[in-house]
């Protein structure tokens, strides 16, 4: 019996050590979110969904504004405005600092809900996401996330050929084939997908209240700027169908912020990888334009 | 845990005990603790194997002494079961779910491949669970009967049913088929009994026409062998005296596998019309096109094929043993632990997205 216990203990020890070693390979190429949950608390934040995660480049903003930015935007499923995202923002924010800059991207999707009753927050989509259950967003390695929420098999931690790479500043760089036909095909597919979403998404007062709560909370630590990112004109039509009164609805949020800039007027000036997300060059151009706009208001 | 399943387990085990006692094959126990421990023995509680009182009950009152080799063998069998479930079944499920849920969009070759992958998924799932249960029991010094004896190396459908889910097949054989007259009597009795047992076997899996047709399909494959008295032709392990099978065995095994896989389509399909439509779509010109599954990358597909190959090769070389990792006692213990370590790491690295045991549905 002693020999068996000794051998199995050694076996378990070796397996555990190997698993920890494999976990140590987790980096920006592992998945689209992991690294954001491993960095220390941050001062200047970029917030929103995947549009912001891919579109706003912290380094470009830093060059213009001379402040280090951190992109803490996730996805439409995980980080629409609501209690879950606000809690995560509170956990990520370095509350010992003041005079920071916060960029909140807004669009109809991020204040809409998929639930039958759009204000029934107990069934909000993000309640099933990693952001709801991962309380500690500043620990490295983040074992809880890796064990409970890492998508797919762990071999991807070692051999990943994903076109997405998450930088240390939270920017998600996506390199997809830039061939015009591919972009057109992806755009068509994505716009169709969003058109299908129209049937299930509804404006939520609760989400909008949480957007205001988020602004109120961040106002304590610095200036809050609201941004509407550009999208492909075809998708803009879908967004206008979803919330034709978007501009008037968000007025109350704009009033409590330090400014709002709407890039949707220049949708056709930017290029997208799929109609929703800006490509790298356009993201750089937009981040720079945003940076100068903020600078002009400082 | 599935309540329906537990009810079944609580039905079959005491029922076989009661019948065996009634037929005086087994003396009733007066030890109430042993009896309830037997009925609710946890490794087999969730999803079998369906253990008989004659084998398991006496083990509760017998004195058990710890043996290193037995316990280690239990660990190896658990790991192999986990490999089959987590690496084989869960990864195959990714392809199978995609293909079966969108079968109208795929070519005949992809659909056929989907059926083959389901054959491995269901084998990995069912036999994986059995291996984990038997291995766990062995850790505690209990010996459960082998439940899957490398069924995909069967040379005909009769052999397949002697090797697939043995505890259930023999349960039906002993408590249903034989009392009905078994294979004694004329052709009519044989035919009737064969259909009854396969129909009940289908219904055991669920009240759906798909399971009934799956049962009938297997009965139709089995019947010609029974009526021509060739059903007990392949009683021994394939290629008993040699390392590799001869050409005839390869053809027999391959054709049995293909037929079984076609049968599994009924088992997996959501409804009977969908099953027939799936089958119909296989046998088109697109059967000879290059298979493609949406959302599955080439690397991922290649990995799944590699692991299925590992499964086949390991089980082929272990086909004469109780389980594939049942090494000879002479084999160096250190090397055996290295093998276990490698399997554990493969399970961790390549385990598919967690899927419930299919077995739990039944």
Asked if A7 has any chain B CB less than 8 Å from its own CB, the reply is yes
Based on the domain organization, do B44 and B128 belong to the same domain? no
Do A22 and B72 make contact, defined as CB atoms within 8 angstroms? no
Kindly state whether residues B136 and B257 are assigned to the same domain. Answer: yes
Question: Is B175 within the bounds of a domain?
Answer: no
| Residues B255, B338 within the same domain | yes
Chain A residues with CB-CB distance to B72 below 8 A: 4, 7
Top-confidence residue, A205 or B3:
A205
Average pLDDT over residues B49-54: 85
**Are B277 and B312 members of one domain?**
yes
Residues B79 and B133 in one domain: yes
Q: What is the ipTM of this complex?
A: 0.83
Give the gap in angstroms from C-alpha B352 to the nearest C-alpha of chain A: 6
**Which residues of chain B neighbour A155 with C-beta distances below 8 Å?**
303, 349-350
**Residue B115, pLDDT score:** 97
Residue A185, pLDDT score: 85
Do residues B48 and B360 lie in contact, with contact meaning Cβ atoms separated by under 8 Å? Answer: no
pLDDT reading at B48 higher than 70? no
Mean pLDDT of all residues in B238-259: 95
Give pLDDT, residue B39: 84
Report yes or no: A5 at the B interface, CB cutoff 8 Å.
no
Average pLDDT over residues A194-217: 94
* B263/B303 same-domain check: yes
Q: How far is B140 from chain A (nearest CA, A)?
A: 12
| B49: preceding bond cis by omega (within 30 degrees) | yes
Would the CB atoms of B348 and A14 count as touching at under 8 Å? no
B205 is catalytic: yes
Q: Which residues of A touch B345 (CB under 8 A)?
A: 15, 18
* pLDDT tens column, A29-59: 989 999 999 999 999 999 999 999 999 999 9
CB A141 within 8 A of CB A26: yes
Q: Which residues of A touch B347 (CB under 8 A)?
A: none
Q: Judging by beta carbons within 10 Å of its beta carbon (0-12, 13-18, 19+), is residue B250 exposed, middle or buried?
A: middle
A163 at B interface, C-beta within 8 A = no
Which of B61, B83, B103 terminates a domain? The answer is B61
pLDDT of B357 higher than 80:
no
Instruction: Tell me: do B286 and B305 sit in the same domain.
Output: yes
CB contact (8 A) between residue A153 and residue B340:
no
Contact criterion met (CB < 8 Å) for B349 and A22? yes
Q: Mean pLDDT across the stretch B228-233?
A: 92
A11 interface with B at CB cutoff 8 Å: yes
| pLDDT, tens digit (0-9, with 9 covering 90-100), for B163-204 | 999 999 998 999 999 999 888 888 899 999 999 999 999 998
Identity of the residue in A11, A18, A154 whose CB atom sits nearest the CB atom of B337: A11
User: Which domain-ending residue is among B46, B61, B76?
Assistant: B61
Say if B222 falls within a structural domain.
Answer: no
Question: Is there a domain that residue B221 lies in?
Answer: no
Instruction: State the total domains in chain B.
Output: 2
Q: Is residue B140 part of a domain?
A: yes
- The stretch B283-310 carries a mean pLDDT of 89
Which residue, B61, B79, B110, sits at the end of a domain? B61
- Residues A191-210, mean pLDDT to the nearest whole number: 93
Structure-model confidence comparison of residues B10 and B271, the more confident one? B271
Query: In this structure, are strands A44-47 and A260-262 parallel, antiparallel, or unpaired?
Result: unpaired
Residue B139 lies in a domain: yes
pLDDT tens digit sequence for A98-136:
999 999 999 999 999 988 788 888 889 899 999 999 989
Say if A122 is an interface residue toward chain B (CB within 8 Å).
no
Q: Which residue has the higher pLDDT, A176 or A168?
A: A168
Residues A134-159 have a mean pLDDT of 91
Q: Is the pLDDT of residue B1 over 50?
A: no
pLDDT tens digits along A247-298 = 999 999 999 999 999 999 999 999 999 999 999 999 999 999 999 999 998 7
Q: Which of B345, B347, B353 to mutate to test the interface with A (most CBs of A within 10 A)?
A: B345
* Assigned domain for B227 exists: no
B187: number of Cβ within 10 Å: 10
Query: A209 vs A109, A205, A206, B81, CA distance in Å?
Result: 15, 6, 5, 51
**Domain that residue B312 falls in:** 68-155+234-361
Q: How far apart are CA A257 and CA B290, in angstroms?
A: 57
**Chain B: closest CA distance from residue A186 (Å):** 14
Confidence of residue B4 (pLDDT cuts 50, 70, 90): very low
Q: What percent of chain B has pLDDT over 70?
A: 93
* Chain-chain contact of B344 with A4 (C-beta, under 8 angstroms): no
**Alpha carbon distance B31, B124 (integer Å):** 37
The whole-angstrom distance between A19's CA and the closest CA on chain B is: 8
Nearest-CA residue of chain B relative to A162? B297
For residue B73, list chain A residues with Cβ-Cβ distance below 8 A. none
Q: How close, in Å, is residue A182 to chain B by CA atoms?
A: 17
CB contact under 8 A, B68 and A4: yes
Query: By the CB < 8 Å criterion, does A15 face chain B?
Result: yes
| B9 confidence band (pLDDT: 50, 70, 90) | low
Indicate yes or no: CB of A155 within 8 angstroms of CB of B350: yes
User: What does the pLDDT read at residue B361?
Assistant: 55
Confidence at residue B128, expressed as pLDDT on a 0 to 100 scale: 95
Q: Could you read off the pLDDT of B310-345 as tens digits, one per residue?
A: 999 999 999 999 999 988 777 889 999 999 999 999
Using the beta-carbon criterion (under 8 Å), do A154 and B348 form an inter-chain contact?
A: yes
Q: For residues A108 and A206, is the Cβ–Cβ distance under 8 A? A: no
Cβ–Cβ under 8 Å, residues A126 and A132 = yes
Q: How far is B142 from chain A (nearest CA, A)?
A: 16
- Interface touch A8/B75, C-beta < 8 Å: yes
Q: Which residues of B touch A3 (CB under 8 A)?
A: 68
Interface test with B, best of A1, A4, A13, A189 (most B CBs within 10 A): A4
Answer yes or no: is B282 within a domain.
yes
With a cut of 80, say whether residue B11 has pLDDT above it: no
DSSP B319-349: TTSSSTT---TTS-HHHHHHHHHHHHHHHHH
Taking Cα atoms as reference points, which of B90, B115, B95 lies closest to residue B292?
Answer: B95
Contacts of A8 in chain B (CB under 8 A): 75
pLDDT of B61: 86
Q: Which residues of A touch B350 (CB under 8 A)?
A: 153-155
Q: Which residues of B touch A154 (CB under 8 A)?
A: 348-351
| Domain identity same for B259 and B294 | yes
Statement to judge: residues B46 and B98 lie in one domain: no
The reported pLDDT for the residue numbered B117 is 97
- What separation in angstroms does the CA of B5 have from each of A232, B10, B206, B358? 52, 9, 11, 11
Q: Helix and strand tally (H, E) in chain B?
A: 15, 0
For residue B174, being part of any structural domain is answered with no
Which band of pLDDT confidence, cut at 50, 70 and 90, is reported for residue B3? very low
Mean pLDDT, chain B, integer: 90
Mutate: best of A2, A7, A12, A161, partner B, most B CBs <10 A: A7
Whether residues B279 and B150 fall in one domain: yes
In a shared domain, residues B12 and B136:
no
In three-state secondary structure terms, A185 is: helix
3-state DSSP assignment of residue A167? coil
Considering the domain architecture, whether residues B249 and B149 belong to the same structural domain is answered as yes
The residue of A31, A155, A162 whose CB has the most chain B CBs within 10 angstroms, and thus the best one to mutate to test that interface, is A155
């Amino acid at each position: 019996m002693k020999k068996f216990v000794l051998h199995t203990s050694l076996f378990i020890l070796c397996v555990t050590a190997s698993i920890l070693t494999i976990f140590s390979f987790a980096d920006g190429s592992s998945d689209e979110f992991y690294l954001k949950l491993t960095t220390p608390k941050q001062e200047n934040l970029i917030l929103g969904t995947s549009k912001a995660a891919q579109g706003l480049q912290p380094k470009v903003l830093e060059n213009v504004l001379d402040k280090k930015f951190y992109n803490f935007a996730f996805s439409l499923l995980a980080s629409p405005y609501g209690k879950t995202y606000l809690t995560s923002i509170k956990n990520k924010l370095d509350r010992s600092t003041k005079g920071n800059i916060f960029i909140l991207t807004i669009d109809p999707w991020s204040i809409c809900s998929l639930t039958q009753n759009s204000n029934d927050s107990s069934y909000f989509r993000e309640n099933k996401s990693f952001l709801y259950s991962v309380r500690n967003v500043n620990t490295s390695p983040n074992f809880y996330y890796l064990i409970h929420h890492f998508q797919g098999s762990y071999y991807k931690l070692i051999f990943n050929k994903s076109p997405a790479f998450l930088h240390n500043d939270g920017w998600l760089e996506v390199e997809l084939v830039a061939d015009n036909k591919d972009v057109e095909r992806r755009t068509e597919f994505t716009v169709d997908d969003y058109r299908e979403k129209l049937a299930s998404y509804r404006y939520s007062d609760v989400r909008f209240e949480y957007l205001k709560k988020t602004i109120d909370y961040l106002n304590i630590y610095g200036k809050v700027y609201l941004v509407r990112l550009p999208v492909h004109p075809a998708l803009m039509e879908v967004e206008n169908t979803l919330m034709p009164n978007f501009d008037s609805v968000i007025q109350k949020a704009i009033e409590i912020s330090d400014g709002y800039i709407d890039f949707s007027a220049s949708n056709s000036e930017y290029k997208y990888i799929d109609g929703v997300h800006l490509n790298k060059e356009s993201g750089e151009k937009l981040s720079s334009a945003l940076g100068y706009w903020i600078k002009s208001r400082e | 845990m599935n309540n329906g399943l537990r009810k079944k387990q609580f039905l079959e085990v005491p029922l076989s005990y009661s019948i065996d006692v009634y037929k005086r094959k087994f003396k009733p126990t007066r030890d109430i603790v042993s009896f309830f421990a037997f009925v609710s023995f946890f490794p087999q509680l969730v999803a079998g194997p369906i253990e008989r009182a004659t084998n398991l009950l006496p083990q509760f009152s017998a004195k058990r002494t710890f043996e290193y080799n037995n316990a280690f063998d239990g660990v190896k069998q658990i790991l192999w079961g986990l490999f089959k479930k987590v690496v084989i079944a869960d990864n195959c499920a990714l392809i199978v779910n995609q293909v079966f849920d969108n079968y109208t969009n795929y070519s005949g070759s992809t659909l056929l491949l989907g059926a083959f992958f389901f054959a491995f998924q269901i084998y990995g799932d069912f036999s994986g669970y059995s291996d984990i249960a038997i291995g766990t029991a062995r850790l505690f010094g209990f010996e459960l009967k082998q439940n899957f004896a490398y069924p995909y190396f069967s040379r005909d459908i009769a052999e397949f049913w002697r090797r697939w889910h043995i505890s259930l097949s023999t349960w039906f054989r002993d408590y249903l088929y034989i009392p009905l007259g078994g294979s004694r009597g004329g052709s009519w009795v044989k035919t009737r009994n064969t259909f009854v047992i396969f129909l009940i076997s289908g219904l055991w899996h669920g009240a759906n026409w798909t399971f009934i047709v799956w049962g009938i399909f297997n009965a139709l494959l089995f019947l010609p062998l029974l009526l021509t008295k060739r059903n007990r032709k392949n009683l021994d392990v394939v290629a008993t005296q040699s390392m590799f099978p001869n050409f005839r065995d390869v053809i027999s095994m391959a054709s049995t596998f293909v037929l079984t896989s076609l049968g599994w389509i009924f088992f997996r399909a959501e409804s009977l019309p969908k099953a027939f439509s799936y089958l119909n779509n296989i046998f088109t010109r697109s059967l000879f096109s290059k298979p493609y599954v949406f959302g599955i990358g080439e690397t991922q597909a290649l990995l799944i094929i590699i692991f299925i190959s590992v499964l086949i090769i390991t089980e082929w070389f272990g086909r004469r043993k109780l389980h594939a990792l049942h090494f000879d006692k002479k084999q160096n213990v250190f090397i055996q632990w290295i093998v276990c370590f490698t399997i554990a790491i493969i399970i961790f690295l390549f385990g598919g997205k967690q899927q419930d045991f299919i077995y739990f549905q039944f």
